[in-house]
């Protein structure tokens, strides 16, 4: 059974810092991995989707990497801003059309 963990559980940084969020999964046979953002009381916003054959994806200040063999992904946020404050969720899918298994999330606070 796939299990996803995320470290750290919570992170508080001053504005402008670069930061890294970590995600680990136990079964390396994944189809894709997706990073989401969730604001308090709100739904999910998809940030980056990485296919199992890819090693990284970039969007603006965000960069996500994937090392499928070691079961790890990182989300790098450059020049953090207070607006980046949210919970970041990592999720993996085992095959096309299958559901996601979510990690517990990292709660990020960027202080002005």
Partner 1 sequence: GAVVSQHPSWVICKSGTSVKIECRSLDFQATTMFWYRQFPKQSLMLMATSNEGSKATYEQGVEKDKFLINHASLTLSTLTVTSAHPEDSSFYICSASTAKIIGYGYTFGSGTRLTVV
Q: Shortest distance, CB of residue 33 to partner 1, whole angstroms?
A: 10
Q: How many CA atoms lie within 13 A of 37 on its CB side?
A: 14
Question: Which spans of this chain sit near partner 1 (rule: CB under 8 A)?
Answer: 31-32, 34, 36, 41-44, 46, 49, 51, 89, 91, 93, 96-97, 99-105
Question: Which lies closer to partner 1 via its Cβ, residue 18 or residue 45?
Answer: 45
- Least separation in angstroms between residue 87's CB and partner 1 is 9
Find the angle CA(13)-CA(19)-CA(26) to the nearest 5 degrees: 120
First to last CA, the chain: 41
Residue with smaller CB distance to partner 1, 65 or 81: 65
User: Which of 76, 81, 91, 73 shows the shortest CA–CA distance to 36?
Assistant: 91
Nearer to partner 1, 32 or 80 (CB): 32
The residue among 48 and 77 lying less far from partner 1, judged by its C-beta, is 48
CB of 34 to partner 1, least distance (A): 6
Q: Write the Ramachandran bin of 40: left for phi over 0, alpha for psi from -120 to 50, otherwise beta.
A: beta
The DSSP 8-state label assigned to residue 15 in this structure reads T
**Shortest Å, Cβ 62 to partner 1:** 15
């Amino acid at each position: 059974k796939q299990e996803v963990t995320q470290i750290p559980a919570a992170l508080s940084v001053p504005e402008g810092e670069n930061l890294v969020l970590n995600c680990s999964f136990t079964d390396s046979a994944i189809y894709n991995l997706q990073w989401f953002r969730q604001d308090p009381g709100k739904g999910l916003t998809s940030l980056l989707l990485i296919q199992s054959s890819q090693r990284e994806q970039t969007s603006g200040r965000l960069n996500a990497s994937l090392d499928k063999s070691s079961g790890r992904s990182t989300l790098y946020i450059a020049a953090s801003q207070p607006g980046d404050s949210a919970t970041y969720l990592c999720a993996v899918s085992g095959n096309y059309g299958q559901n996601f298994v979510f990690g517990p999330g990292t709660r990020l606070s960027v202080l002005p």
